[in-house]
Amino acid sequence: MCTRNRGFHKYHLYWFHLKINIMQSVEKLLLENKAWVYETMMDDPDYFSRLSQNQEPEFLWIGCSDSRVPANKITGTHPGELFVHRNIANVVMEDDINILSVIDYAVTHLKVKHIIVCGHYGCGGIKAAMTNKSFGILDKWLLNIKNVYEASRPAIDALEDPEARANLLAECNVKQQVINISKTAAIQNAWQNNNLPQIHGWIYDLKDGLLKQICRVIKPARDC
């Protein structure tokens, strides 16, 4: 009986400490926020007052949800400069009301001048789409990337190195999403009135931190 009680006690003690650690990690984020606010206010007392008035970003960023690819950090931009949407493998689906609403709002109301689709090497979504494994609810999402893979399979499979194949698919995926954006109603309507926005396809390399442009669409010419 005592042994069972000791086991019961150890079990609850384990979960108690686990809960404390989780709370500490979350609390750390709140503390870091306070530190950031303090430092920002020391440098610019009117920063938040000014930021709260309006947003006029020049760019819409459509990137991957990967935690290693923070849009503001890798572009050296500040709050208010990028309008951001992120999902797994930076996919733009024609029936995804979420991303279509983001594009429409950015183009129609914020009047962004540039849309950037940014993929990255080492993308888990890209790697998953290249396999025959099932990932449950993700399968439907990954189908979009699998279709890109099938369309580019001869060039991709001609590469011997698995990493090189995944990197090429990441680039092909970016190009396809740029094309998908160019076909949306928001872009077509905007292009009837002017030549903006321009749509750029970028890729980010986790190994060196550098961005590079791989394609661009400017009405009416395309090099993508």
Mean pLDDT of 179-208: 95
Lowest mean pLDDT across 62-66, 156-160, 191-195 = 191-195
Q: Read off the pLDDT of residues 66-79 as tens digits, 9 standing for 90 and up.
A: 999 999 999 999 99
Asked if residue 138 and residue 66 are part of one domain, the reply reads yes
Asked if residue 72 and residue 12 are part of one domain, the reply reads no
Asked if residue 43 and residue 75 are part of one domain, the reply reads no
State residue 15's pLDDT score.
59
CB-based contacts of 180: which residues, under 8 Å, 6+ apart? 92, 93, 94
pLDDT at 1 over 50: no
CA-wise closest residue to 128 among 98, 169, 177, 179: 169
Asked if residue 12 and residue 123 are part of one domain, the reply reads no
Residue 154's pLDDT band (cuts 50, 70, 90): very high
Let me know: does 165 contact 157? Beta carbons within 8 Å.
Answer: yes
d(CA 183, CA 149) in angstroms, rounded, equals: 20
d(CA 24, CA 67) in angstroms, rounded, equals: 20
Q: Read off the pLDDT of residues 12-45 as tens digits, 9 standing for 90 and up.
A: 555 555 565 666 788 888 888 999 999 999 999 9
Structure tokens at 57: 């970003």
State residue 104's pLDDT score.
97
Q: Where in the sequence is the domain holding 161, given as residue range(s)?
A: 55-222
CB-based contacts of 129: which residues, under 8 Å, 6+ apart? 89, 142, 145, 146, 148, 149, 169
Mean pLDDT of 142-147: 96
Query: Could you give the residue numbers annotated as active site?
Result: 64, 66, 68, 120, 123
Asked if residue 160 and residue 96 are part of one domain, the reply reads yes
State residue 111's pLDDT score.
96
| Domains of the chain: total | 2
> How far, in Å, are 115, 122, 196 from residue 104 at the CA level?
12, 30, 13
- Dihedral angle, C-alpha 53, 59, 65, 67, nearest 10 °: -70
Asked if residue 203 and residue 159 are part of one domain, the reply reads yes
pLDDT at 223 over 90: no
Asked if residue 207 and residue 151 are part of one domain, the reply reads yes
Asked if residue 37 and residue 59 are part of one domain, the reply reads no
- The pTM (predicted TM-score) of the whole model is 0.86
Which segments of the chain are extended strands (E)?
59-64, 82-87, 114-120, 198-204, 211-218, 221-222
Q: Residue 137's domain is classified under what CATH number? A: 3.40.1050.10
Considering only residues 11 and 77, tell me which one the structure prediction assigns the higher pLDDT: 77
Asked if residue 138 and residue 77 are part of one domain, the reply reads yes
State residue 66's pLDDT score.
97
CB-based contacts of 211: which residues, under 8 Å, 6+ apart? 74, 75, 118, 202, 203, 204, 205
> How far, in Å, are 10, 120, 136, 148 from residue 133 at the CA level?
39, 22, 9, 17
State residue 25's pLDDT score.
81
Asked if residue 47 and residue 96 are part of one domain, the reply reads no
State residue 168's pLDDT score.
98
Asked if residue 67 and residue 151 are part of one domain, the reply reads yes
Asked if residue 137 and residue 47 are part of one domain, the reply reads no
Picking from 30, 53, 76, the residue at the C-terminal end of a domain is: 53
Structure tokens at 37: 């606010």
Q: Read off the pLDDT of residues 84-119 as tens digits, 9 standing for 90 and up.
A: 999 999 999 999 999 999 999 999 999 999 999 999
